[in-house]
Amino acid sequence: MSGLGGLNKSKQGVVVGLVQLQLPSVKTKADLTAQTARVCELVGKARRNQGTMDLVVFPEYALHGLSMDTSPEIMCALDGPEVTALRDACREYRIWGCFSIMEANPHGNPYNSGLIVDDTGHIRLYYRKLHPWVPVEPWEPGNVGVPVCDGPNGSKLALIICHDGMFPEMAREAAYKGAEIILRTAGYTAPIRHAWKVTNQANAFCNLAYTASVCLCGSDGTFDSMGEGMFCSFDGTVMVEGGGRPDEIITCELRPDLVREARQGWGVENNIYQLYHRGYVAVKGGAQDCPYTFMKDMAAGRYRLPWSVDVTDGTSCGFDAPTRAYAGPQAHPLVPDSRKAD
C-alpha cells in the first residue's frame, strides 16, 4: 500500500518523490549553472505537486549529464555555488532533498558524490560512490563508507549510487547500520533495465528495507536514459513504478514503522539477522562464525578469483591506465555547514 502515492499520508508515513529528470547535456560552467537552476525549479515543483511530500530524490548525474567529462570547470565543491543553491531550495520549499554532484578532488580523479539535505538546508548525509561503474566511469573510488542519517518523520536513510546497488553487500551494509529506506540514484540506460529491477527488489527483501530508486530519463542526443523510478517494499514487491516520461515525479508513502516491526517480529526470512545466527533452532543463538571464504580473504587482503579477468582498467573506454594506488579509507570529512535552522 502506498497511500495513493502519499495523498493519504499516515502519521507514521514518509512520502518520497522520485524525479525522472530529463537527461541534461552539460559542457560549460554556464551549462552547469543553468542545470542547477533547473533542478532547484523541480524542487519547487515537487513541493507544489504534493504538499505531503517529505523527500524529493534526484538521479545521479542530475547536474552533469552522462558525458564523463572531468573538466575542473564543471566540477562542484561542498561549499560551492551549486550545493549552496540546492540547500537554499530545500530551505525555501521546506522539503528534504537528495542530490548528485561530481565533486572536485585535489588528490586525484573527482568523486561521484551524493547529498541528503534537510528541510532547513542542512546537509544530513554526504556519500562518495564506492563502486564507480567500471570501465566506463573515471571517478575516484569512494573512501568514506556507507553513511546512514536520521530522515524525516523519524526514518533512517541511506544513499547508494547506481552501480553500488548491484553489490548485495552495499544494501546489506546500509541496513546493518540501521537504514530503513535505501535510496538508489542512477543514470542507467536501457540495457540495464532487467538488472535494475531485480536488484532493487532483492536489496529490499534481503534486508527488510524499503528501496526507492530512480534513473535519469530521456535523451541528450547521444545517450538514452530510462527513468523507471521504483519503490519496493521490504517483502520485495514493487509498490509503485514509473515509466519513461522525463521530469515526471512518482511518489509513494513508505512506513518505516512497519520495517521495524518486521525486523523485530519476523522469524521466517529475517535474513539480515539469520546471516549471523545460522540454524538457531538447532544450536543456541545459532552459529556465529564467518563461513564465507570471500569475506575472510577480502578482510585479509588476499581476495582472488579462481578465473582470469580480461578488463581491469579503463583503456577500453578511452581512459589512460592509472598509475596511482588507492590510498585507503579516510575519516568522514566534516561538511562545511555554518547555517542555522530558521
- Report how far apart, in Å, the C-alpha atoms of 197 and of each of 87, 106, 150, 170, 207 are: 31, 36, 26, 16, 16
Options 3.90.700.10, 2.60.120.920, 3.40.50.1820, 3.60.110.10; which CATH number does 3-317 get? 3.60.110.10
How many whole angstroms separate alpha carbon 184 and alpha carbon 130? 13
Which residue in 250, 210, 204 sits closest to 229, CA to CA?
Answer: 250
Calpha distance 104→80 (Å, rounded):
10
- pTM recorded for the entire structure: 0.96
Rounded Cα distance between 4 and 249, Å, is 14
Query: Which residues form the catalytic set?
Result: 60, 129, 162
Peptide bond into 191 cis (omega under 30): no
CA distance 274 to 250: 34
What's the rounded Cα separation, in Å, for the pair 247 and 227? 9
What angle is formed at CA 174 by the lines to CA 338 and CA 302, rounded to 5 degrees?
110
**To the nearest 10°, the Cα dihedral for 64, 68, 73, 76?**
50
Q: For the chain, which residues make up each domain, given as ranges? A: 3-317
- Percent of the chain scoring above 70 in pLDDT: 97
For the chain, residues with pLDDT lower than 50 are 336-342
Chain centroid offset of residue 215 CA: 10
For residue 335, what pLDDT is reported? 52
Give the pLDDT of residue 5: 85
Backbone angles phi, psi at 215, to 5 degrees: -110, 165
CA-based torsion, 24, 30, 32, 33: positive or negative: negative
Separation of alpha carbons 70 and 277, rounded Å: 46
The pLDDT assigned to 1 comes to 59
Q: What is the pLDDT of residue 177?
A: 98
